[in-house]
Structure 1
Amino acid sequence: MSGTAISSIKNLGPASEAAFLRAGVPDAETLREIGADEGYRRLLQSGQRPHFISYYVLHMALQGRPWNDCRGAEKAALRRAFDALVATTKDPSAEGLPRALAMALDFYGIRA
């Protein structure tokens, strides 16, 4: 028996649901259980490109808050957490390198 659709969570639609399914997160119950940071880490590991807005929207969604409710010190703290998560999560297309390093090498044209 499958759980509740991820798109049933306010602020998360069909595209988010499809991305989470590709990342191995099958339902809303699992996403709530693992939390926003682990859920987003799984998205990154599945090849999803990092985007800060989608990260904080996920946090707001799991708290039942409007997506644009994130401001000020809370938004700044989430930005620091996002940057740390991106820097330490390996990109499956980056030969095992941390995502931030792979992106820097690509920027300078060092990797093929």
Structure 2
Amino acid sequence: MQLFLILTSALLWGITNPFIRKGSSGLENINSDNYFKRILLELKFLFSNLNYLIPFILNQLGSILFYITLAYANLSLVVPLTNSLTLLFTTFTAIALGEQEVNSKTLLGLGFVIAGVCLCVSAAE
């Protein structure tokens, strides 16, 4: 159950990150002389944009699952595993969407993350 919750929250966070980035493009074009008006216009832009809103809601669902996981699992294992796996899923999704190219540095970094996850799991056993 714990591993399922860790994987699910990491998957929800990782997959949605590139979609949130894509969905929020255009936000930088919103201008206003009034700081508070600009904030309201940015919020209106984001929350009226389904390309942003759906991944954002799924991302928040991942956060809820993460907090539930913290109640059932070892904190020193949950946090590094979830964050590491989130990075992996974000990278794979960005590659699948064509946002990031596969190169030797990316592969080396992914290898280090996977090795770190394996060390965390083996140390917890």
Shorter-normalised TM range: 0.3 to 0.5
- TM-score, structure 1 as length reference: 0.33
The structure, 1 or 2, with the larger RCO (C-alpha pairs under 8 Å, 6+ apart) is 2
**Larger helix fraction of residues:** 2
Mark the structure with the bigger radius of gyration.
2
- TM-score, structure 2 as length reference: 0.30
